[in-house]
A = this chain, B = another copy of it.
Amino acid sequence: MVADVDAATPHTATGGGAPAETLGRSERKHRAILEAAQGMFLAGGYLGTNMDELAAASRVSKQTVYKHFGSKEALFVELVTSMTDAAGDRVHVDLADPTEADEVPSFLEAYADRQLDIVMTPTLLQLRRLVIGEVTRFPELAEALYEHGPKRAITTLAAMFERFDELGLLRVDDPTAAATEFNWLVMGEPVNRAMLLGDAAIPTAAERAAQVRGAVRVFLAAYGAR
């Protein structure tokens, strides 16, 4: 894995990385390869992506692709990692913790709504379908998505719920269990529908709001401080 912030956000034209002109030559190439890889893997699948075509689309030599990423699989693992990490980063910035118990419901609704909004995009859903379809052949791809996607989301939620418990805003004995339950109350139905029914099943803002209200209500019935 390359510790390169810019390379880590190839898909967010507006988010994260420095503009291309401030990058070094090597970083520009790294980013160009990841950008081309995202388009080709998502459209053609893992096996359907050809490293010669990828080099051509990135305007670099095939040796440069291998110098930067080592192998097709390592390149795809880095792509999965950077796409899921970038999505996770966007969920977790800029939401101030509540300080009073009566702020908790609207805080959790805002958090969950943002999580749904960011995860339920055609690009991330297609990445998820793709790695699930290849899990028996290429378990590392799906494991990278698991670690940087749902596992990271649940770890972050667990730390948050533990904080809220200490602040008296929630009553949570087992933060990881509570985080897992919250995550799937929010994400389970929308993700499953989008996996099986395609992008037409991505919820609208109104559908997200309804989904999130129900999930938070159930969660707080079990874990609310009062």
Contacts and interface: CB of A to CB of B under 8 A. Distances in A.
A142 interface: yes
The number of times this chain is found in the oligomer is 2
B132 A133 contact: yes
Interface size class of A (residues with CB under 8 A): 35 or more
Contact of A198 (B126, B135, B188): B135
Interface stretch (A18-26, A55-63, A103-111, A175-183): A175-183
B150 A198 contact: no
Interface string A182-213: 01110111001101111000000000000000
A136 interface: yes
Interface string A136-152: 10010011011000100
Contacts of A221: 218, 221-222
Given A188-B183, A188-B187, A188-B188, A197 B146 contact: yes
Contacts of A135: 129, 195-196, 198
A137 to B, nearest CB: 9
Q: Is the interface of A mostly helix, strand, loop or mixed?
A: helix
Contacts of A198: 135-136, 139, 142
B177 A142 contact: no
A133 B196 CA distance: 9
A150 B192 contact: yes
Given A133-B132, A189-B180, A143 B219 contact: no
A54 interface: no
A131 interface: yes
Contact of A222 (B134, B193, B217): B217
A8 interface: no
Given A142-B196, A218-B219, 5 more contacts: A184-B192, A185-B185, A188-B188, A218-B218, A221-B222
